Amino acid sequence: MNNTSKKPLLQVENLSISFSQYFKGTQKRVIRPIVDLHVEIGEGEIVAVVGASGSGKSLLAHAVLGILPGNAMWEGRMLYRGEILTEERKAQLRGGEISFIPQSVNYLDPLMQVGKQVQIGLEKSVAQGIQKELFQQYGLKESDGKLYPHELSGGMLRRVLFATSVREGGRLVIADEPTPGIHPEILSEILKQLAQFSKKGAGVMLITHDIMSALEIADRVAVIKDGRTVEIAEAAAFEGKGERLKDEYTQRLWRALPQNDFDLEFQRKDVGMQCL
């Protein structure tokens, strides 16, 4: 499946996810947006997960974290450090060894000052100091800590999310689209931060639409299409016309970027402009 020499940290094999839904009042149907996903992240490795909107990236993250909605069922195999990831184990690891930067800023509590939210889960005596450091690190002013989520811009909320989500001592960081709407300087800061985690030995799953930014730090890129992993490529294979990429979809995704020959036909038909 891959040729990483790094010790496997997270292995996801043959993952499928289905939802049972009621429609027309009482009739039940099952939809299956995730058909066959696989991905593997080694210790100290950054794997970017890319794919069009609706391809299943967030569901993959939520399945690993054990936070799928109640009407979801999953099948397949997930291993963390060689051990089967049960729902109980996921709950133990979540927020500790496995940290999660969610896609939506709605994960923040609208009724709590953001400074307080960053302090959640920290030892009382050091919480304020750590919050101060984190705010500095992510370019937030000390006075911003007193604000409520609705008083912050989208970019600032992203930074707060990062500060609330990532803790020292994490072994696996799952970042779901951590960079949209963010100032370029903060974008590069966030990428640097993720690279730093990996240098310290943590594995990083970086879910994003922004392939070019992801390639700045990723070791490998998993390409998802319609709930399937179509290819896991070395980051270095994203060069030139994409001749070293194995899957045709991956090649077209790469060529559709403005930096390349900007395949407009592909953008319209397959991914939609908003994804690029």
Ligand X SMILES: Nc1ncnc2c1ncn2[C@@H]1O[C@H](COP(=O)(O)OP(=O)(O)OP(=O)(O)O)[C@@H](O)[C@H]1O
State which of residues 16, 18, 58, 113 lies at the interface with Ni ion (CB under 5 A).
Answer: 58
Nearer to Ni ion, 135 or 162 (CB): 162
Q: How far is the CB of 51 from ligand X (least distance, A)?
A: 6
Separation of alpha carbons 251 and 255, rounded Å: 6
* Rg, the chain, Cα only: 19
Q: Does 67 engage in binding with Ni ion (CB under 5 A)?
A: no
**DSSP 8-state symbol, 7:** P
* Residue 201 binding target from Ni ion, ligand X, none, CB below 5 to 8 Å by type: none
Look-up of token digits 């403005």: 258
Residues that bind ligand X (CB under 6 A): 19, 31, 33, 51, 53-59, 69, 103
CB of 269 to ligand X, least distance (A): 17
**Burial of 27: CB neighbours in 10 Å, binned 0-12, 13-18, 19+:** exposed
Minimum distance of ligand X from residue 76's CB (angstroms): 15
Residue number, 96 or 272, with CB nearest to ligand X? 272
Which partner, ligand X, Ni ion, none, binds residue 54 by CB below 5 to 8 Å per kind? ligand X
d(CA 254, CA 11): 26
Helices (H), the chain: 57-65, 87-93, 114-119, 124-137, 154-165, 184-199, 211-217, 248-255, 264-266
Identity of the residue, 147 or 276, whose beta carbon is nearer to ligand X in the bound complex: 276
Q: Does 105 bind Ni ion (CB under 5 A)?
A: no
The length of the chain, given as a count of residues: 276
**Which residue is listed with tokens 């803790």?**
167
153 binds, among Ni ion, ligand X, none (CB under 5 to 8 A by kind): none
Which residue lies nearer to Ni ion by CB, 103 or 198?
A: 103
Binder of residue 184, out of Ni ion, ligand X, none (CB less than 5 to 8 A by kind): none
Dist. CA 4–CA 45, nearest whole Å: 9
Which span (70-78, 100-108, 211-219, 245-253) binds Ni ion, by CB under 5 A?
100-108
| Minimum gap (Å) between residue 102 Cβ and ligand X | 11
How many residues make contact with Ni ion (CB under 5 A)?
3
Tokens, residue 2: 């891959």
User: Does 107 help bind Ni ion (rule: CB under 5 A)?
Assistant: no
State phi, psi for 136 to the nearest 5 degrees.
-65, -45
Please check whether residue 201 is in contact with residue 44, taking contact to mean a CB–CB distance below 8 angstroms: yes
